[in-house]
Amino acid sequence: MRNGYGSKTPLPNYEGSHNMATLELSNLHAEVAETGESILRGVDLEVASGEIHALMGPNGSGKSTTAKVIAGHPAYEVTEGDVTLHLDDEDVEDIDDEHLGDDDYDWELLDLEPNERAALGIFLAFQYPAEIEGVTMVNFLRQALNAKLDEREELFEEDDEEEAEAEDETNEDAAGYDSSPMEGETDDGEIGVAEFQQLLQEKMEQLDMDTEFAERYLNAGFSGGEKKQNEVLQAAMLEPSVAVLDEIDSGLDIDRLKDVSDGIEALRDEQNTGVLQITHYQRILDYVDPDHVHVMIDGEIAKSGGPELAEQLEDEGYDWVREEVYGTA
């Protein structure tokens, strides 16, 4: 198994060929880095490509912490367990065979920085997306896509150290843009302007979004629903193996909820992304058809089932799960 520095870590027991990307959480324990407060107490979960998993649970059960630990948020420290990304052949089809070995299919994410996890195919949609004045959506998305591709090259290929250092110095000298990233040479970056514009148009049509949306500043003046729809667009553009959506349904009216739900199902159905949908309520699951539903209580996955489990939770709450699993409400 590969980590971010090219060394190898012993693989956990995992059976399977390279035909399905899977995010695997194994006996995951985590605490708040600053206080040492224990949040996750042995989470076991697998999310495969082409599947939607709904992670439900009461407030304070550890759902958002799970999302942030997967992405590598520094506010949390993992004290035990593994977070492993098993890639499939489609996930590495952009990598030259000469740079690809069996160890490049399995990555221990806890050894990697957040940007490296993103480059491998982990996407986190924020519950409260940031607003950035002066940066248009289209510029942001192109830079994000090219940054992902550049990071993938560093992860999978053995770069010459002198060339890498020279490139870093060049990038430092060029910090800040004299012009928009959508201007300049068409072959600037892995994805040129024309190719990017075509890709963006395809994704926005796939999500039934107005193309004028991309010319606005990033989340600036957006409604809550527009911000969440923008998160789905980012996932569509970056084409992750697994997208973690942290309460993306919060604060949405019924029309925007339907739009966001259609986008989530498109991630699964159109580009085979695995989705971990974190939510408090069954409401979004009226429009998103999950393959699996999990209940998190006190930092553990207490119960798993199908869509009918979410309906039971909506009718009866969470106390019955606690009583069934732990013998107490």
CATH of the domain at 32: 3.40.50.300
User: Where in the sequence is the domain holding 239, given as residue range(s)?
Assistant: 22-326
Q: At what angle do helices 193-206 and 137-156 cross, to 10 degrees?
A: 110
* Domain presence at residue 104: yes
Is 51 contained in some domain? yes
Confidence of residue 132 (pLDDT cuts 50, 70, 90): very high
pLDDT at position 13 is: 35
**Amino acid letter, 94:** D
pLDDT tens-place string over residues 16-44: 444 589 999 999 999 999 999 999 999 99
pTM: 0.83
Residue 12 lies inside a defined structural domain of this protein: no
Would you place residue 9 in the very low, low, confident or very high pLDDT band (cuts 50, 70, 90)?
A: very low
Query: Would you say residue 231 lies in a domain?
Result: yes
Identify which has the larger pLDDT, 169 or 147.
147
Give a yes or no: residue 1 inside a domain.
no
Is residue 136 predicted with pLDDT exceeding 50? Answer: yes
**Contact criterion met (CB below 8 Å) for 273 and 22:** no
> What pLDDT shows up at residue 58?
93
Strand duo 38-48 + 22-32: pairing = antiparallel
Has residue 6 got a pLDDT over 60?
Answer: no
* Residue 10 near residue 74 (C-beta atoms within 8 A): no
DSSP reduced 3-state for 218: strand
What's the pLDDT score for residue 46? 97
Residue, of 110 and 254, whose pLDDT is higher: 110
Name the phi and psi angles at 279, rounded to 5: -155, 155
Single out the residue of 195, 224, 201 nearest to residue 214, CA to CA: 201
**Could you give the number of structural domains in the chain?**
1
pLDDT band at 294 (very low <50, low <70, confident <90, very high): very high
Residue 13 resides in a domain: no
The Cα–Cα gap between 273 and 152 comes to: 18
Asked whether 329 and 322 are in contact (CB, 8 A), the reply is: yes
By residue count, the chain amounts to: 329
Residue 41 counted as domain residue: yes
The residue ranking higher by pLDDT, 13 or 120, is 120
Residue with token string 């910090």: 175
Q: Is 95 helix (H, G, I), strand (E, B) or coil?
A: coil
User: Is residue 52 a contact partner of residue 289, using CB atoms and an 8 Å limit?
Assistant: yes
Question: What's residue 70's pLDDT?
Answer: 98
- Is position 219 within any domain? yes
